[in-house]
Amino acid sequence: MFVLANGLIAGLGLAAFLALGDGLFDTNTFPVLIDVSYVPGMENLPSIVELLIHLLISVIVAFFLMHFYPRERKARSVRYLLYWMLGFSIAFFPFSVLSQSPMSMTAFLIWILGHLLYTAMLAIQVGRNR
């Protein structure tokens, strides 16, 4: 239940942050986050269904991030979270291409900040419950 709740909250926080960034800076990071139209059979899903898919993926990511979170030294935890951030950062490029969204440095920075927020939300919850 802990992972489910935190995965949903962090996923909603990420989605809201990216949607806000899109509104403020005229980027397309939120569509990159939820777009699944490149998956066969999912071409014409409503946006709400795409968001629900994103939240399911968020719960799965939260499970793995939290389950394998280092229990030892703080330095190891920071390095672990940086690896997750690197993965999230790299994911922007293929997902932008697949969703046919224009790439820009502003969109990339919003994507990174959003995923930093997502990672921090999960890391804080892990820290509180250990």
Predicted confidence (pLDDT) per residue in 74-101, tens digit = 778 889 999 999 999 999 999 999 998 8
Confidence (pLDDT) at 21: 96
- How high does pLDDT run on average in the chain? 92
Identity (one letter) of the amino acid at 2?
Answer: F
- Report the C-alpha gap between 109 and 7 in whole angstroms: 22
Say which residues have a Cβ less than 8 Å from residue 128's Cβ, sequence separation at least 6: none
Furthest C-alpha separation in the chain: 47
User: What is the DSSP-derived secondary structure letter of residue 39?
Assistant: S
Confidence of residue 2 (pLDDT cuts 50, 70, 90): confident
Quote the number of domains for the chain: 1
Domain that holds residue 25: 2-128
Cβ pair 102, 32 in contact under 8 A:
no
- Report the C-alpha gap between 61 and 113 in whole angstroms: 17
Residue 31 has pLDDT above 80, yes or no: yes
Confidence (pLDDT) at 103: 87
Confidence (pLDDT) at 64: 93
Please report which helix (H) or strand (E) contains residue 90, including its range.
Answer: helix 74-98
